[in-house]
């Protein structure tokens, strides 16, 4: 890696086998605009990602379910059917046409779902039968309590590892440049990691070795499809999303990150704790530790930091060496040409939170670029 005294947001970077011309990354952003039924990416999705592609820049596409039982959010896309692969191929073509790079985020929601969103009205699945405290919105705008999920069998856990591997292969067929495994925000992998959601007494619960086992098995299986230098993982060590938390995150995540380092993954993507839960409101939990600062000494490959960054904090994080690249979310929603705006110091468009999860082009493909 380049000396910290020479590095800026606009220095080149290589993520595994993927060369980049700058260090501004588009974070994975659920936008609820896949076609339903089928959860298939559409030409509008291809337009959206194509608008945000920049020469030599990296996009991490939104959380994408690896199986029908992995769906947790209305109109979220999948990567488990031929139609979905074809839909995503339109997206990757649009990004590559502008010289961009794009990874797909592989996702299983686990207990962060509801029977109304799952095949056969099945209960959500999780490592243990522990319900989320609180409510979620279902069709018709009704708010209902989260259901108690069904605990997975050992055989089902192995089937899930295979589902991630198949999804990784489907992402290759759709001509992505790599994949990111979603291990953050209270979803299935994190449910296995945390003591409050994993009450198992078999090889997948209890000790740190056991609680990280599923995440490492998934990472190993996905790396077997892509090669480790095209695979990353996203984590939220101090996150509180979906009623998820670990009493003492440092030992757990140090253990997991050590295992990922031994696998040789291309990058680690850490969500800063100040940004956990920002999907519904403006949140900035001041005074909490920086995940990137804490775990940087344990990770010698590319580290991406995400979480309420602005231009100043992004520049400082990269210049200090605490992170190698910065992922932007909401700013990329409103500014399809964000890297160019940051490089030139051009004023940014304001995002409209009310359109984050709506269905049409408003607030999706209609934000202007500088030349418009």
187 is catalytic: yes
CATH architecture group of domain 13-355: Alpha-Beta Barrel (3.20)
Please write the tens of the pLDDT for every residue from 179-190: 999 999 999 999
Please write the tens of the pLDDT for every residue from 68-84: 999 999 999 999 999 99
Among 203-207, 283-287, 342-346, which is the least confidently predicted range? 283-287
Please write the tens of the pLDDT for every residue from 274-315: 655 444 444 455 567 799 999 999 999 999 999 989 999 999
Q: Residue 102 above 60 pLDDT?
A: yes
Say what percent of the chain tops pLDDT 70.
95
Contact 334, 351 (CB under 8 A): yes
String of DSSP letters for 280-313: SS----TTPPPHHHHHGGG--SEEEEESS--HHH
Please write the tens of the pLDDT for every residue from 227-278: 999 999 999 999 888 998 788 999 999 999 999 999 999 999 999 986 554 4
Give me the residues paired with residue 150 across strands: 125
- Which of 62, 63, 61, 59 shows the shortest CA–CA distance to 20? 59
pLDDT-based confidence at residue 323 (cuts at 50, 70, 90)? very high
pLDDT-based confidence at residue 97 (cuts at 50, 70, 90)? very high
> Count of alpha carbons within 13 Å of 22, Cβ hemisphere only?
21
Q: Residue 14 above 50 pLDDT?
A: yes
Question: pTM above 0.75?
Answer: yes
pLDDT of residue 267: 98
Choose, from 48, 49, 146, 187, the residue flagged as catalytic: 187
Q: Residue 139 above 90 pLDDT?
A: no
The 10 Å Cβ neighbour count of residue 137 is 12
Mean pLDDT of the chain, nearest integer: 94
pLDDT of residue 274: 67
pLDDT of residue 189: 98
pLDDT of residue 151: 98
pLDDT of residue 28: 98
Contact 120, 131 (CB under 8 A): no
The 10 Å Cβ neighbour count of residue 159 is 13
Domain boundaries, the chain: 13-355
């Amino acid at each position: 890696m380049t000396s910290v005294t020479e590095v800026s947001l606009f220095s080149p970077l290589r993520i595994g086998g993927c060369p980049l011309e700058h260090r501004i990354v588009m974070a994975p952003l659920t936008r609820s605009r896949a076609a339903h039924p089928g959860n298939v990416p559409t030409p509008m999705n291809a337009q959206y990602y194509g608008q945000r592609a920049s020469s030599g820049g990296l996009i991490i596409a939104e959380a994408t379910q690896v199986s029908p039982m992995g769906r947790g959010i209305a109109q979220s896309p999948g990567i488990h059917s031929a139609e979905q692969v074809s839909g995503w191929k339109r997206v990757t073509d649009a990004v590559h046409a502008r010289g961009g790079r794009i990874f797909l985020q592989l996702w299983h929601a686990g207990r962060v779902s509801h029977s109304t969103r799952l095949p056969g009205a099945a209960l959500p699945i999780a490592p243990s039968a522990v319900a989320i405290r609180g409510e979620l919105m279902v069709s018709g705008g009704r708010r209902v309590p989260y259901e108690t999920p069904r605990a997975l069998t050992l055989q089902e856990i192995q089937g899930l590892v295979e589902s991630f591997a198949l999804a990784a292969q489907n992402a290759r067929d759709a001509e992505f440049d790599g994949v990111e495994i979603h291990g953050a925000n209270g979803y299935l992998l994190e449910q296995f990691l945390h003591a409050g959601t994993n009450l198992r007494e078999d090889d997948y619960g209890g000790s740190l070795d056991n609680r990280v086992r599923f995440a490492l098995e998934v990472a190993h299986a996905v790396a077997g499809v892509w090669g480790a230098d095209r695979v990353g993982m996203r984590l939220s060590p101090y996150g509180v999303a979906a009623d998820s938390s670990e009493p003492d995150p440092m030992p757990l995540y140090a253990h997991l990150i050590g295992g990922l380092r031994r696998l040789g993954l291309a990058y680690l993507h850490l969500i800063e704790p100040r940004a956990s839960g920002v999907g519904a409101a403006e949140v900035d939990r001041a005074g909490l530790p920086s995940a990137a600062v804490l775990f940087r000494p344990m990770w010698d490959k590319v580290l991406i930091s995400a979480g309420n960054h602005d231009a100043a904090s992004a520049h400082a994080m990269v210049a200090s060496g605490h992170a190698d690249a910065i992922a932007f979310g909401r700013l990329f929603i409103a500014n399809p040409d964000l890297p160019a705006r940051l490089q030139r110091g051009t004023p940014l468009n304001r995002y409209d939170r009310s359109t984050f999860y709506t269905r049409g082009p408003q607030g999706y493909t209609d934000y202007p670029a500088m030349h418009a």
